[in-house]
Amino acid sequence: MKNCLLHKPVMVDEVVEFLCLKKGYKVLDATIGLGGHADFILKKIQPSGALIGIDRDKAALEIARKRLNKFNKICKLAHANFKDLDKILKDQRIEKIDAALFDIGISSYQIEDANRGFSFERDGPLDMRMDQSSPLRACDIVNKYKRIDLEEIIRDFGEERYFRRITGFILERRKNKPISSTRELAQLIEEAVGKWYKFQKIHPATRTFQALRIAVNRELDNIKIALGKVLDFLNSGARLCVISFHSLEDRIVKFRFKEFEAEGRGRVVTKKPLTATADEIRENPRSRSAKLRVFEKY
């Protein structure tokens, strides 16, 4: 199962501990990816119980299906957006769950595949769709959106202070021909703002690529909708773990958990987000930006 090696699940020990898993539990893994966390969860709940795994990425889901085949009696997978988790749980005739995990963002499996167009380090089509059956690609935004909308995306989803200059360069370039590859866009951004990024740790295209990815996949809307729904399905005492990889998502999770607490629906277990240990970061540098927040339903 070589593909599994392309994505190491982050903070597995913490997730397993904080979900307080027991044999026979019903668990929702809203972002099953390649099934890394699910593998550990299933080992804890087997031989009964159930794990419902959702992912928007059909290719990832197929890898997870093979990997988790040994648990096929208690593991059900759905190709869907987690914002529709209510419908998916109803389809599975599950009224209540004992634990839920969201490990949001993209997987290394998606980043590493140049054809998916997520990475400015690999040349590929400017795509960035997690669900390859959805209609909007990054190239549509870059080549068709109005200046004001493009500026807003790069500013708000990328927190990129040079959003105006980058948008200006994109608009100038696309007058001649559409921008269609990741390399072309990354080089253009470097031309636009490279000099200001000389002494920064990140590549000049990092923030714009993040912004486009969030816009293509409507990532922030999806997590807001899903968090609004998931609590209704949790049993009393059930835990919800959310791992996020950038501050925009983490902020949403943090405020939503506070609201739930203020509404008397449960308690925030992690007053500060948990982060990966130094050992894990050494082994898996992607875990460096992971933040885990945990909520317990009353």
Beta bridge partners of 125: 181
Of 200-259, binders to ligand SAM (CB under 6 A) are: 222
Applying CB under 6 A, does 41 fall inside the site for ligand SAM?
no
CB 243 within 8 A of CB 15: yes
User: In this complex, which beta carbon is closest to ligand SAM, that of residue 33 or of residue 124?
Assistant: 33
Applying CB under 6 A, does 75 fall inside the site for ligand SAM?
no
User: In this complex, which beta carbon is closest to ligand SAM, that of residue 161 or of residue 247?
Assistant: 247
Q: Which strands sit side by side in the sheet containing 291-297, from one edge to the other?
A: 75-79, 50-55, 26-29, 97-103, 234-244, 291-297, 266-268
User: In this complex, which beta carbon is closest to ligand SAM, that of residue 76 or of residue 164?
Assistant: 76
Report d(CA 163, CA 25) in Å as an integer: 47
Which residue of 16, 41, 42, 54 would you call a contact of ligand SAM, by CB under 6 A?
Answer: 54
Which residue of 11, 35, 234, 276 would you call a contact of ligand SAM, by CB under 6 A?
Answer: 35
Which residue of 11, 18, 25, 36 would you call a contact of ligand SAM, by CB under 6 A?
Answer: 36
> 37 to each of 57, 75, 168, how far by Cα in Å?
16, 13, 42
User: In this complex, which beta carbon is closest to ligand SAM, that of residue 63 or of residue 179?
Assistant: 63
CB 23 within 8 A of CB 48: yes
Which residue of 19, 26, 37, 248 would you call a contact of ligand SAM, by CB under 6 A?
Answer: 37
> 6 to each of 44, 70, 109, 252, 286, how far by Cα in Å?
24, 21, 5, 28, 12
Q: Cβ 199 to ligand SAM, closest distance in Å? A: 30
Applying CB under 6 A, does 82 fall inside the site for ligand SAM?
yes
Applying CB under 6 A, does 31 fall inside the site for ligand SAM?
yes
Q: How many residues does the chain have?
A: 298
Which residue of 53, 105, 117, 266 would you call a contact of ligand SAM, by CB under 6 A?
Answer: 105
- C-beta neighbour count of 69 within 10 angstroms: 10
**In the complex, which residues of this chain contact ligand SAM (CB under 6 A)?**
7, 9, 31, 33-37, 54-57, 60, 81-83, 103-107, 130, 222
